[in-house]
Structure formats: structure tokens, C-alpha cells
Chains A and B, each alone.
Chain A
């Protein structure tokens, strides 16, 4: 029982949006669907929902093609946020749940519970247009889950949320996953994906670049990084980049991350740093970040459409907003 995207191709006129895309999402996991703008994430979700038809290939949930599944299988949080501006929050939550077959009384009770949980119970009878964008986004998230879908598809769910609401939403993700729901979300915010996802699919121009468990992908990259902080030296000195075995330096507020060449020996680098007379307060061999992995695989960061040249300045790890 998994979500299987199997050789899906979709073309919009001359544009090839999806090019034989395939990946699997295990049930009950949080899955990150990663790619730059225009990579094909939204199209894939729309095909899952039956809004758009694939030209070729198939998407199945628990072995059943998505076209044969009831709509309530899915919960959907679209990238474009929108509610009925003049309709009360509770009324529209009940309305959406009713369309998925929920009884109004039960939907009302559940909606009030989620509004309480999201710290906006006082907004139940307010018009949606009176809410801030962040709160509207929370209402829309509730609308997507109120009918208790098996699979929750979310397109860029973290965009526009402040840090407090971000934490609330992440906690909700964890709770839903613990209830056995499958969560698939697209994002170009690698930090969020790294924090939440057990598995990811990285796509570029409609094709799968890499997919699987995040841990396995990092190991498979063969790249090692070193997290280093030098006592009393800030920012990271230029000579770090000239140490044998270091390919690139990613400075940050606390020190730097060193991207190593494939055959580099961390112990030799440690000796080289000490030989320069520096006092080391932190030295740790780490796995590459998801951001770094994405850049390595796709050739550019997820939040830009420009071609990544690999030249400095380097984007700090987790610095992509």
C-alpha cells in the first residue's frame, strides 16, 4: 500500500512538464517532493487529484489507479492560498468537509478542535477576509485535513508562515503521520524538508534526479563535509580553502562547513588546520545537507531558476528562505 508514480509524462503544448517521472511514497511517511519552480511538482499533484490527466503513465495508491479512488482519499493544500473572502471561517470549513462526505455536525466539531489547536478559536465566526495571511493558511490547512484523508498533498505548505506558525504546522505534520496518514509536500525550502522528511524525490525539468530515504541519498552521494569552528577567528580565514582536500568553504555565523574532495582524509585536514596554529573549538565530520545534495544533483539551488555554476559566494546551509 504505497503511492506509486509510474512513468508519468505530461506535456503542455510544446512544454514537457513531466518526462517519465517515477517514484514511490511509503504509507505513513512524510515525503518531500523537491524541485525548483517549474520542475513539475504541482502538475504531479494535480494528476494525483485527477484535476489534470497524464499523457502517459499512471499514479496508483494502494495499487488502485487514482482515477478510481474516491476524492476523500486526498487532502490538498494548494500553493495558491484562497478561501471564500466573505464566508465565515467555520462555515467554509464545514462546507469543504461536506463536499468530501463529512456530516456537517461532525465537521463542525472537528473544525472547532483544529481551530483551537491552531490557536485561532476566536476566528471561527469571522469572515476569512478579516484574517491575516498566515491564519488564512492555517484555515486552509484545516480544510485539507478535516475529512481525515489517507494521503495529504501539500504544495509549498510553509510559504509565508512566521516561525511560530511554522512550528505549529510541523507539529501537526508529526501528529498526522503518527495517525498513519501519508504526507507528501513539495517545497524548495530544504531546511524544512530536511527536518521533516524521511524520504524525498528530487526532480528537475519533469525528471527524477534522485529519490529514496534521505539518509541513504546522503550516504550514496559519497561526499563528506566537516563542520569546523576556530577559537577567536571569525569569519573563517581564507587559508581554510587552500588546505589540501578541501574543495569549497561555506562560512556561516558560527564557523564554516568544509566541502571535501571525494578522496580527502578528514584526519589530514585536522592536522593541516592545527599546523596553521589555529585552536579548534569544533571539528565534526558530517553528512552533506539536503541543500548541498540538491545543488550537487540539480546544479543550482532550489529557489532560483538560474544555472548553478558552483562558484562563490556559497549559499549558507539552511539559509534558503
Chain B
């Protein structure tokens, strides 16, 4: 950029035209409405699934060496967990939990297979104290487990009272012990996450990574197509004399990026609102007792900010490269071939992020979360489901910022050379040679 070409106001003028041109096109309006409808359907899908699964019963196994104690545990837990909500007729109420006595091995196998939601291990110690351990995927903080903690106290009272000897020499009542053996590994800054929170994080992680991937591919191609269309219509000849390559490139990326973001928000905000109020919607549609907590309960402001940072930087990085690529084709049709390598890079980042979301955490994933162009996807996934060290986050964002800066300079140079090339087959060699010539 020469001193005569400050970024503003021209980049802003170009961005405004690009934005208006996009958002006023009928295709944009129609696709936004269709996608918004689809997103709302997806957001409402869990309520539909709950409706279809409303007859599903959650199974909890009770394991104890003392059959009598086991029966008492079943009776107490059943009365607490299957208590009908206020206003519901107990006669017609369908119990959501089934408690069954089983052996340790069978219970463990059922838990691993997912047939059982939890195992309640109940035993009486030599001191007479009842010891209750809940083995589950949920954390102690979940509503169900807190009810089971109450149940444990009831089991202890019932067991103590049932073993009272005649006379007055009754042994003192010892408060039962209750602990949760949680299988959840996700944490938030060292704090174990509740199962609902962990599930929410996993769900949102997938949603965010998929949205970022789609944005990079779809809106990145918008940028490339926009550049290629200007070139094929030859209006580029006028533009390149009126504004510098850097102004043109920045304006185009900002304008089309803003149009993409507008569509993105139009799709995401109603869907997020539905997710946020899913509990109330479920209660209104299915009746009392069907609220299970909103699926975005794991979404915190820092996570949202992290998503914003990685979304903007990730999109900026890819969009700049897409713009440079668009400048090298004479017809928009040629873009598919030229953009394939970049799409593959985005796919690699996306797949790595999916592995990270499913609990993978090897050296490759850790490295990919730091190094552009994979870091926007992979670090986003990592911050959603695992603990990330502050220095890792700083390195990742720092390298991404540096990459955007370097790529913007190189892309502007390639753009300047590429937009004047006509009738040449697009290829990496032409790409590099033109960049050198522009220098």
C-alpha cells in the first residue's frame, strides 16, 4: 500500500456496495428464509424427539449384598424419583424411572452399554451406617442425583428403623454416606461439568465447528466468486485504477463477510432463542414434567467470545485466500478446481475438530489447535469440551492474527497480479509467478 492509498474510506465504500449487492439479491433473501426455517426445525427437533420418546423409562439399578436393604432402597428411591409433578393425577402418571435390583456385574455391564442410566450401590457397614454410592455419567450437581442423595438419607432412616431391637437400647442413628462416582471427564477451568452442561458443551461444540466450517466454505466462495465475476465482466479494469488492491480486497472481504454474518445471525438467533426456551416450549407442548434443561446451558460469555474471535479470524484468513484465488480465474466456473485444495485444508481442520470434540487429545490435536489454518476449528472445539491453558489460547490467537496479517499482504499482491491476467489457465505456478511479478 502506498501512502496515497489509506484503507479508508475506499474499503468502506466497497464493503458497503458489496453488502448491499448481496443482501438485496433475491437468492440471498430466499436462501436466508429457507435456512432460518431449517434451523428452527433443527432447534425444535429435541422437543419432537422427547415427544416421541415420552414413554421411555430411565432405568436405575440397585445393587446390594443385603436383599432386604436392596428392597428398601428401591422403595425409597422410587417414591422420591417417581413423585408426580403438582397438578398431575397420580393414577395416570407414567413413572419416568424404573428401579430394579441386580448384581454388580450385570449393573456395570448395563451401565457401559447405556441400558442403565445409573447404579445405586447400597451397603451396610459394620458400624451400621448405610453407605450409598451412585455410579453414573451425571455429576453430583444434577437434579436427579440430588434427589438420590435425599433418597440415600431415607434409605438410611428406613434401614435403621427396621433393624431397631425391642426395648430401649437402640443404636444411635448414623447419617448415611452418599457419594457420586461420576464418569464425566469434562471440566471448566478444573471444575467438573454436570452431565447436562457437558452434553450441552459437546452439542454446542459440534454446532459451532459446523457453522464455522460452513461459513468458511460458503461465504469464502462468495468472496472468490465476487472477485471472479468482477474480473469476467471486466469491471475490474475500472476498479483497479480507482482503488488499490488492498482497498479492494479488504472491502470485498468485509462486505461479503458482513452479508454472510447477517445471514448467519438471521439463521442462528431464532434457533438459539428456541434452544434457550426449549424447556418452556416442551412444558407447554408436552405438559409438566417434560423440562430437562435448555441445551445451551453450557454456553457462557467467555465461550461465546471465544467463538466470535475464532469465527472472525478464521473467516478472515480463509476469505483473503479465496479472494486471491478468485482473482486468478477468468470465469467463475474455474473456481471449483482452483479452490479445491483450500476446501480440503478446511475439511482437515473440521475433521480434526470433530475428533477433539469426541474426546481426542493427542499431540496432533494440541498442535493443530495452535497452528493456522487449523486452529480456528480445533481450538474452538477444545475450548468447548476441555480445559485449555491460557498460554495455549494466547499462542493460538496470536499466531492466527499474525497469519491474517501476512496473508492479507500476500493476498493483496496476488490479487493485484491476478486480476490483470486473462486467458491463462489457473494454477499454482501462475499464482506464484504473478505474485512475484506484482512485487
Contacts and interface: CB of A to CB of B under 8 A. Distances in A.
A78 B3 CA distance: 25
Contact of A82 (B21, B238, B244, B416): B238
8 contacts: A12-B437, A76-B237, A80-B234, A83-B238, A84-B21, A84-B233, A84-B235, A87-B21
B421 to A, nearest CB: 11
B233 A51 contact: no
A233 to B, nearest CB: 50
A144 B10 CA distance: 17
Given A51-B240, A53-B438, A83-B235, 20 more contacts: A46-B420, A51-B241, A51-B416, A51-B420, A67-B4, A69-B4, A71-B241, A71-B243, A74-B241, A80-B237, A81-B234, A82-B233, A82-B235, A84-B230, A84-B233, A86-B21, A95-B13, A95-B17, A96-B242, A99-B14
B5 interface: yes
Task: Give the secondary structure class of A's interface.
Answer: loop
Interface residues of A, number: 33
B375 to A, nearest CB: 35
Nearest to A70: B4
Nearest to A104: B13
A61 interface: no
A71 B5 contact: yes
Interface string B227-262: 000100111111111111000000000000000000
A165 interface: no
B337 interface: no
Given A80-B237, A87-B21, A67 B13 contact: no
Contacts of A79: 237
Contacts of B4: 67-71
Interface of B: 2-5, 10, 13-14, 17, 21, 230, 233-244, 416, 420, 433, 437-438
A304 to B, nearest CB: 21
Task: Give the secondary structure class of B's interface.
Answer: helix
B12 to A, nearest CB: 10
Interface of A: 12-13, 46, 49-53, 67-71, 74, 76, 78-87, 95-96, 98-100, 140, 143-144
Contacts of A50: 2
A155 B437 CA distance: 22
Contacts of A52: 420
B13 A83 contact: no
B432 to A, nearest CB: 13
A69 B239 CA distance: 17
Contacts of B243: 71, 99
A49 B243 CA distance: 10
Nearest to A73: B4
Q: Which of A53, A87, A98, A144 has most chain B Cβ within 10 Å?
A: A98
B230 to A, nearest CB: 8
A143 B238 contact: yes
Given A68-B4, A99-B10, A99-B13, A49 B241 contact: yes
A73 B287 CA distance: 73
Nearest to A96: B242
B343 to A, nearest CB: 27
Nearest to A75: B241
Contact of A98 (B13, B233, B244, B416): B13
Contacts of B230: 84
Contacts of A100: 242
Given A51-B420, A95-B13, A98-B13, A76 B241 contact: yes
Given A71-B243, A99-B14, A76 B416 contact: no
